[in-house]
Structures are given as structure tokens and as C-alpha cells.
Amino acid sequence: MRKRGTFASGFGTVAAVGGSVIGLGNIWRFPYIAGENGGAAFILVYVLVSLLLSVPLMLSEFSIGRHSRRNAMRAFRKVAPGRPAWQGVGLLGIATALLILGFYSVIAGWALEFLREAAAGSFRAQTPAGLKENFDTFVDSGWRPVLWTLLFVAMNGVIVSRGIQKGIEKFNKVVTPLMFLILLGMAVNSFTLGGLREAVDFVFRPDFSKISGAVVMQAVGQSFFSMSLGMGIMITYGSYLRPGDSMFRVAGTVAVSDVCIAILSGLAIFPAVFTFGISPTSGPELVFLTLPNIFAQMTGGYLIGILFFFLLFAAAITSSVSLTEVVVAYVSEEFRLSRRKASLLTVLAVGVLATLCALSQMSGSPLTVAGKDLFDLFDSLTSTYMMPVGGLLIVIFAGWVMKKELLRREITSDGRYGTGIYPFVRALIRFFVPAVIALLFLTQLGLLK
């Protein structure tokens, strides 16, 4: 068997897992969802969901990965040799990773273009209408987004091809803390802005009447996406954990960081939005239309704009590297290719998918399926169907198929950590988490209200 690497240090492990977890979900989605759905009440629900559902699911993925020390597909076979059908769950995860890479890389490409524009000072003296036209022309040109996207995909390939320690870990050790610093700097700067109070009010003011079943389900979906669960990432990264490392420490640290960074992002972005009397938005609209408008007007907006788009790019690449690694680990182990060759093949495949997604965003593009352009299709297919199903099958596998003793040995690192809380965690994995994900799935399909 070929030698297989692990992460080299505890800090590197947390940085890599944290880099995957902290992404666009934290920056452009969470603050808005929280604001719309009950503020601090939503945040409380989100924290509970993270601890009771996401952390157990993450521990399950880590266990399958670390025990098998294989890629996301082979891991299932290694853990349960007599039940080859479970490999399908791994394959589903790998397919999910590929599709997410398709549209995620396009957004990252947009971030690169906007980083360039911010640096060139092109937002200055632009009206909101001018900014919108600028963005639409960019997307409609077709070739410009494609070039940026391909550049981004290639960067992923370079990082991943250098290996676990010299590529992924080394890169995340620098970039993950940098993201945190930029956000912190922006949040501190927000304290000088007049819109701070309104922003704090929007993000935090608790309104428990807003919490409904649907809102809880939204928190679950957001938390799984934000913690990179249900698609084999944590199986793959788990296979690089060292035997003595505490899984509780890694999962706990990143779960706490996930929430903190999302809140920090709200404090970094919304005060400026309110200062200029603009209503809060989320997603592409927030970062590619609303914010450039604000950067054009605010003091220090030139520098803040550059930092922000760099942050967006950093958040995207540390996440997409983890997605890329899921595919590369699979290709290199299953087809017995060197890491470099496997990375090249993966980059080519992702490059094709991402190009199609980018082109599907041009107005009048024929790249649609059932009325949805490819970009939206990949997005909704993965988040509505593939991730919940993947997550559900993974906890069922960990709780009911994996040998009881194996799961205990992995999660407690051979009885070293968390043995007291372990029975509770196991009960969550066996009963609570599958029940809630099944509910989430049925709700999303519209079979439950």
C-alpha cells in the first residue's frame, strides 16, 4: 500500500478543517438569515443545532475517515467490509463535492474580478445603477467570468497537488487566521460607524415568535452546509487526523468558530450597510452590488473594499480546497495515480463543470434544465437533496452499521477523551440526528409542513 499522510500539527488540523468550514455560508448568508428569523433567538437555535446535530455528524464522518484512512468511497468498504453497497454513500459525497465545486468556483471567480476592480478603484464615482450594469456586463460577457473561474480552479489544483502537509495544511495555516484578522479589523472599524446600533439591532434583537418548525429546519440546513457536512469532506479530512488527536477538540473548536465568524461577519458588514441607509441583503446581491456601492462612498472604502474581496476569495478557496481534496483522494487511490496526475484530472473535470456554470449565467443562455440554469440547478440539487441524504446515510452508517466498538474507539481516541459524554453522543448519532435530518428532508420535499 502507498504511504498515506496525516496533518502534521494540531493547529494545522484545526486551520484546515476551519478553512473548509468558514466560507461564503458564514459571510454572506448567516447574518442575513439570523436577522430575518428572530436575531438572537435564531442564533440560540443555531448554536443548539450545531452542538446537537452538526458536531455528532462531524464526529461520525471523522470516525469513518480516521478508522479507514481511505478516500470517501473506500472508507465505507474498509469500515464495513461485508456491506459493499454503502460505498454508494461515499460516491454520492464525491459527486456532491464535484457539483458544488462547479458553482462555488464561479462565485470565487467573481470575487477575483471584484478584487481586481476594487484595487483599480473602479467602484469610485459609480451609481448603484452603474454598478449593476457593470456586474451584468461582466457576467454576460461569458469569457471574463470563465477565465477567472479557471484561474481559481487551477489554484486549487496547485495547492492540492502539493499534498496534505505541504499543500493543504500549509496554505490553511496562513490563510485561515488571515480571514479572521480581516473580519476582526472590519468589525472594529464598524464601531466608528453610525449604523452600528441599527445593525446590532437587526442581527441580534431576539424575537422568539419568529421561531417555527421551518426556521429550525433552515438552521439545520444552514449549519450542515456551513460546517461542510454530508459530502465526504470530513471523512476525507478525518482520514488525515492523527490517531492521538481529540476529535472532540477539533469538532468543538470549529463549531464554535463557525458561529463566531458568522456573527463577526454580521458586525463587519451590516453597520456599513445601515450607515448608508441601505436595506440589508444577502448572497451575490449583497457582496457584488450593495457592498461595492458602500465602498464607493465610505471613508477608507478603497482599502476596505480590497480587504473584503480578498476575504471573500480566501473564504472560498479554503473551502474549495477541501472539496477538491475529496475528489483527488478518490481519483488517486482508486485509479492508482500520483497525486499530481489525480489533481490534474480533477482540475480538468471541475474546469469543465465550472465553465458550463459560468456560461449558464449569461442572459438567454440555453444551458438550463427544467427552467433552471445549471448554476442554480447544481446549487439546489446539492443543498436540497444530495447533502441531506448524504448526511442521513452517514449517521445511520456510523450509528447502526459500523461496529459499536470501532465507533467508540475512534470518537474517544481509544478511551482518551470524552468517555463520560460518549454514550450521549452515540445516542444522538443513532436516534436524534437521523430523525431530525429525515424530517428536514421531508419538509424540503414539501411532504411535511
Contacts with ligand PHE by CB under 6 A lie at 20-21, 23-26, 100, 225-226, 228, 231, 233, 319, 322-323
Closest approach of Cβ 27 to ligand PHE, in Å? 8
CB 173 within 8 A of CB 11: yes
Closest approach of Cβ 364 to ligand PHE, in Å? 29
User: Which residue, 226 or 239, is less far from ligand PHE as judged by CB?
Assistant: 226
Closest approach of Cβ 60 to ligand PHE, in Å? 17
User: Which residue, 161 or 226, is less far from ligand PHE as judged by CB?
Assistant: 226
User: Which residue, 21 or 179, is less far from ligand PHE as judged by CB?
Assistant: 21
Q: Which three cell numbers stand for residue 392?
A: 442521513
User: Which residue, 21 or 356, is less far from ligand PHE as judged by CB?
Assistant: 21
Closest approach of Cβ 129 to ligand PHE, in Å? 30
User: Which residue, 229 or 396, is less far from ligand PHE as judged by CB?
Assistant: 229
User: Which residue, 311 or 323, is less far from ligand PHE as judged by CB?
Assistant: 323
User: Which residue, 123 or 308, is less far from ligand PHE as judged by CB?
Assistant: 308
User: Which residue, 232 or 434, is less far from ligand PHE as judged by CB?
Assistant: 232
Alpha-carbon distance of 11 to 19, in angstroms, equals: 12
Closest approach of Cβ 258 to ligand PHE, in Å? 8
- Nearest-CB residue to ligand PHE? 23
Query: Computed over its alpha carbons, how large is the radius of gyration of the chain?
Result: 21
Closest approach of Cβ 291 to ligand PHE, in Å? 17
Alpha-carbon distance of 271 to 438, in angstroms, equals: 38
Kindly provide the b/e burial profile for residues 77-90, where b requires at least 16 CB atoms within 10 angstroms of the residue's own CB.
bebbeeeeebbebb
Closest approach of Cβ 20 to ligand PHE, in Å? 6
User: Which residue, 65 or 195, is less far from ligand PHE as judged by CB?
Assistant: 65
Torsion of Cα atoms, 176 then 281 then 225 then 219, to 10°: 120
Closest approach of Cβ 96 to ligand PHE, in Å? 8
Closest approach of Cβ 271 to ligand PHE, in Å? 22
Alpha-carbon distance of 251 to 52, in angstroms, equals: 12
CB 363 within 8 A of CB 140: yes
User: Which residue, 73 or 296, is less far from ligand PHE as judged by CB?
Assistant: 73
Closest approach of Cβ 166 to ligand PHE, in Å? 22
CB 153 within 8 A of CB 340: no
